[in-house]
Amino acid sequence: MADQEKLTVRDYMTQEVATVAPEDTVRGVAKRIAQSDNHSGYPVCDGRHVEGFISARDLLLEDENEPIFKVMSTDLLVAHPDMKLNDAARVILRSGIRRLPVVDDAGNLVGIISNSDVIRSQIERATPDKVNKLVKTLENIHDIDATESRRDVDISQLTPTQGKVYADELEGRRYELQRGLAEPLVIIDTPTELLLADGHHRVKAASQLGIDEMDAYVIEIAAPVELGMAETARKENLETVDDIDAVDYAHHPLVERTQRLQE
């Protein structure tokens, strides 16, 4: 949905971030990790400038008096607060990391975005209020009456309106579906077809998992109407879920590596 496309990392990142200093010792950081319920590692900052990241794995077999700057990872992915949330989700899912430090233009730490933040944001996407706004928009633009309901839909009957999804994001959708975390689809039910308005990654992931039906918000339009998304489906020859292509995600311009920031 359009509102989701406007969300940025800034909207969901945690601003208060626990850090360690480059001169801290292996022993001290190991003790902090052992006593923490939520941290398996920390950004390493000189003041607020990100110098690297230290994880429990980095500490293994190191001398307990060794300073952190000698054993930390210095080549890590960091994101900008203005990066689109959907893009940050793809980076997190593709790289397999749990947390992505967020830095400003000067390389200073301003927050952190985690895989759980991403899942939370995705679950919050489709809400009755947002669906109602879409109903009102359709009614105003096309001068029609529309109703909304919520029900299970057969995904084999859906007509996609988006020809491509990101292969790495499918992993996150499979994760959500297997754990019952995915939010409903948004479907437009016209006299001739069921148009998939929102949820292409979820539908593709469901198809791969052998799931036949999914929960959906359904917007029902009784009168014939020419919708732009239906025209898109025809132009791209989209008829079933199988017609949705999974593509790899190119490196995002608002993702950096700390080594480049230091240079």
Q: Residue 96 has what pLDDT?
A: 73
- Is residue 259 in a domain? no
Number of residues written out for the chain:
263
- From 194, 169, 155, select the one nearest 84 (Cα to Cα): 169
151 in the same domain as 73: no
Q: Flag whether pLDDT at 109 surpasses 80.
A: yes
- Over pLDDT 90: what percentage of the chain? 49
- Is residue 141 in a domain? yes
Angle between helices 115-123 and 85-95 (to 10 degrees): 130
Report which of residues 183 and 255 the model is more confident about: 183
pLDDT digits (tens, 9 = 90+) for 183-222: 889 999 999 999 999 899 999 999 999 999 999 999 999 8
135 in the same domain as 150: yes
- Over pLDDT 70: what percentage of the chain? 89
- Give the mean pLDDT of 60-80: 94
Q: Flag whether pLDDT at 69 surpasses 80.
A: yes
Domain limits for position 11: 2-121
CA 164, CA 222: separation in Å to the nearest integer? 29
Q: Flag whether pLDDT at 125 surpasses 70.
A: no
158 in the same domain as 49: no
80 in the same domain as 9: yes
Q: Residue 194 has what pLDDT?
A: 94
225 in the same domain as 208: yes
* CATH number of the domain residue 84 falls in: 3.10.580.10
φ and ψ of 182, to 5 deg: -70, 140
CA 93, CA 114: separation in Å to the nearest integer? 10
pLDDT digits (tens, 9 = 90+) for 1-46: 445 567 899 988 889 899 999 999 999 999 999 998 778 899 999 9
CA 133, CA 151: separation in Å to the nearest integer? 19
At residue 127, what is the residue type? T
146 in the same domain as 240: yes
- Is residue 258 in a domain? no
Q: How many domains does the chain have?
A: 2
Q: Residue 255 has what pLDDT?
A: 65
Please state, rounded to an integer, the average pLDDT across all residues of the chain.
86
- Is residue 55 in a domain? yes
157 in the same domain as 103: no
Q: Residue 164 has what pLDDT?
A: 87
200 in the same domain as 182: yes
Q: Residue 262 has what pLDDT?
A: 58
Instruction: Name the pLDDT band for 260 (thresholds 50, 70, 90).
Output: low
Q: Residue 1 has what pLDDT?
A: 43
- Is residue 35 in a domain? yes
pTM attached to this predicted model:
0.53
Instruction: Name the pLDDT band for 180 (thresholds 50, 70, 90).
Output: confident
140 in the same domain as 101: no
Q: Residue 40 has what pLDDT?
A: 86
Six token digits for residue 209: 């998992």
pLDDT digits (tens, 9 = 90+) for 241-253: 999 998 875 455 6
* CATH number of the domain residue 230 falls in: 3.90.1530.10
- Give the mean pLDDT of 67-72: 96
216 in the same domain as 165: yes
- Is residue 45 in a domain? yes
115 in the same domain as 13: yes
80 in the same domain as 132: no
